[in-house]
Structure 1
Amino acid sequence: MQYDSNQIARILPHRYPFALVDRIVDGEPGRWAKGIKCVTVNEPFFQGHFPQKHVMPGVLLIEAMAQVGGVAILALPENQGKLAFLGRVKDARFKRQVVPGDVVEMECVLTKRRGPVGVGTCRATVNGQEAAAAELTFAIGGE
């Protein structure tokens, strides 16, 4: 499974400034996905976080990982046109700051699914160093 930004936009409803995945580089629909985010100084959140020292907000790293997981689950034919809502963030850890110039590699493995609710184990790295990790719960909703 590989998607460019235009293909991702056909799966996820997120648009600027909240589209946080540039590319899906690998994965299997309904099971896992691996994506990347190329962080630039032009990101709108850097205007306020922090003007004197640009650091990508941790909550946006969580959202970016959730979007990768969203592609994994919404790429299934039966989920086309549906939404994946973030329901819970468990055991979030932030270990490295993400700054302009970083390429964030994110992976989300869907570990459980019962009806419209599922759980994914997610991890974000930069140059092989863990930047963030969390267990995310999602719910698939209507169109």
Structure 2
Amino acid sequence: MSAMDIHEILKYLPHRYPFLLVDKVISIETGKSIVALKNVSINEPFFPGHFPHHPVMPGVLIIEALAQAAAVLTLRTEGNTHKEDSVYYFVGIDGVRFKKPVTAGDQLILKVSIERQIKGLWKYAARAEVDNQLVTEAKLMCTSRSV
């Protein structure tokens, strides 16, 4: 298991500000799992509109953060870095549950494990935690395609 800083993450993900949602990889075991983190700052561009009186991270962005962690895991497992001619897409999201709001100041821990991989289609079990408490869980399916 090894860690990755933001410079290495940027080699794997095409996302950039304001849509890069993985700040650090705490541990990664290629072919198995990843634990990454997203520091949720009051300076996030979505907070002024979601919601001005009570800033809450949108659930779809928590799912996106989990998918970005899954992409790092998959690309690292395959030994590939991000290529300009390919994109990593969602193909399915099942069993999504939001258990608790994520607010400014939280550190979102992203835990993703590979359940299976068949013909370029990857299925993952994903969960996000804050302070060791489950905030979101889902089954994700993704694939990469040439553009």
TM range (shorter): over 0.9
TM-score, with structure 1 as normaliser? 0.95
Note the residue ranges of structure 1 that are not aligned, 5 or more in a row: none
SS at match of 2:22: coil
CA deviation digits over 1:72-110, x for unaligned, max 9? Answer: 001134433353211111000000110011001111001
CA deviation digits over 1:109-137, x for unaligned, max 9? Answer: 01010011010000000001100000000
TM-score, with structure 2 as normaliser? 0.92
CA gap 1:30/1:140 in 2 versus in 1, 3 angstroms: farther
- Corresponding residue for residue 127 of structure 1: 131
Note the residue ranges of structure 2 that are not aligned, 5 or more in a row: none
Q: Is 1:37–2:41 an aligned residue pair?
A: no
Q: Work out whether residues 30 and 74 of structure 1, in 8 Å CA contact, stay in contact via their aligned partners in 2.
A: no
Give the aligned residue type for 2:57.
M
Moved more, 5-14 or 23-32: 23-32
- Corresponding residue for residue 120 of structure 2: 116
Q: Report the number of matched residues.
A: 143
Q: Work out whether residues 124 and 139 of structure 2, in 8 Å CA contact, stay in contact via their aligned partners in 1.
A: yes
